[in-house]
Amino acid sequence: MVRAVDRVYSHIRDGIIAGTYAPGARLGEVDIAELTETSRTPVREALRQLEMEGLVEVVPHRGARVYTWTADDLEEIYDLRMTLEAMAAARAARRIGDKDIDRLSELCDLMESAAANGQQLDLMAQLNDEFHAIVRTAAASTRLLTMLGAVIQFPLVMRTFHRYAPADVARSHAHHRDLVAALTSGDEIWADSVMRAHVRAAKHVLLQSLTPDEVKESE
């Protein structure tokens, strides 16, 4: 049975990612408790967890709000993600099995097919998440997975794939193919390099596409 706090956490997190709760939106404990048919206690626990993950900010005497990032925040998050994802890719190159390699290749085919069929961006994002999750899991490092958990949600929140031009999509597909080749060869330096380029390119697309309404000014 799903715990109340987990149900509330999923409700808020999914709402943030979907844009139902926009940056800066107030997250009233009473309102959320009513929506999720629970008490305020699991709501407070879920908000604390989301605050630790950087998706929510709790302001004394003002309550919880969806975090609004600065461009500097997003650049820092992507730099952290680049370092951690590259480390995961390098570790995976020494550990990944044939079954996972086959699935990664299949996911490349599926992502390219989704792009060819009218840019099915939500499907591409879902397949992309599975692709990267396989690489992270193959790294076989609980500590690394925990640290990555704090930064991998932001591309979902910012709906990065929806900002991609066709050339950006093509470059992403090429990076995925290169990464599969690096992992197949067991070359950790190659895998590290490809993943760094992949995340750096995603950061560039995001930062170039931001509108004034999406970020707050740096303090």
201 neighbors 171 (Cβ within 8 angstroms):
yes
From the centroid of its chain, how far is CA 192?
19
Instruction: Look up the pTM and report it.
Output: 0.80
Alpha carbon 123 to its chain centroid, in Å, reads: 15
At residue 161, the pLDDT reads: 73
**Average pLDDT per run of 10 along the chain, which is 219 residues long?**
85 85 89 92 92 85 86 88 97 98 98 85 88 97 89 69 88 97 98 97 89 64
Q: What distance in Å separates the CA atoms of residue 208 and residue 103, rounded to the nearest whole number?
A: 32
Residue 181 CA to residue 172 CA, distance in Å, equals 14
Alpha-carbon distances of 99 from 50, 95, 96, 190, rounded to whole Å: 34, 12, 8, 21
